[in-house]
Every structure is written in structure tokens, then in C-alpha cells.
Amino acid sequence: MTEVVTLYRPVGPEELALIAASGHLAFPPRLPEQPIFYPVTNEAYATQIARDWNTKHGSRQGFVTRFDVEAAYAGRFERQVVGGREHEELWVPAEELEEFNRHIVGKITVIAEFKGEDAQ
């Protein structure tokens, strides 16, 4: 059995629709202004972003996704702390996202949804 690490990614409805279009198997390519794909290492941090940032911008909706990645592959990416120690991310260069997707084990699932007061 392959050892996996569980990661999380806060997303908006547009990215979630693209994930769904992949059969919940892959994250969409980054936009030109997004050089890094950054899954986070804990649910609390993903929830904080989806609830406290996504609900105040764009569509005013945030979703928390959970997925497993082969541990040996995920270990290639350095963990980055971008605030408090709970704000830990993996920084995956955008050009490596397609390969990253191939190392996802199982499906990407939505585990939480948040809507701002004026959500679309």
C-alpha cells in the first residue's frame, strides 16, 4: 500500500467547477499570474482561508477540499510557513502541477463550504 499524506486546498467556485470537470481527480492549471500551486498541510488553515478570505472576495464563496498525495512525491516539496506555525503550505511550481496531479491518490473531496453575506 502506498503511503500518503493528506493535504487541503481552499478554492472558490470557479476552481471547484474545474476540479469537478476532471472527475475530482485533478487541480486545474495555474493562471499566468499564479506561479505556485500551494496546497496547505492542515484543515484549520484551509478553513481559515476559505471562510475569512474567499467569502470576502470574488464570488464570496469558499470551499475546503481534502485529498491524498503519495507521501514520497509530496516530500519533494519544501514546506513553507507563511505566518503563524499553523500556516504551512507546500509550494509546487505551476509547471509541475500536472505531474503533482498524477500523484493524487483517490478523489479530491469537498469537506466544507462557506458563503459570505452577499454570495453570488
Q: Report the pLDDT value the prediction gives residue 82, as an integer from 0 to 100.
A: 87
pLDDT means per 10 residues, the chain with 120 residues, are: 94 96 97 94 96 89 97 94 89 97 98 84
Q: What architecture is domain 4-115?
A: Alpha-Beta Barrel (3.20)
Per-residue pLDDT at 42? 96
For residues 64-94, one letter each, b for 16 or more C-beta atoms within 10 angstroms of the residue's C-beta and e for the rest, the string is bbbbbbbeebbeebeeeeeeeeebebbebeb
What are the boundaries of each domain within the chain?
A: 4-115
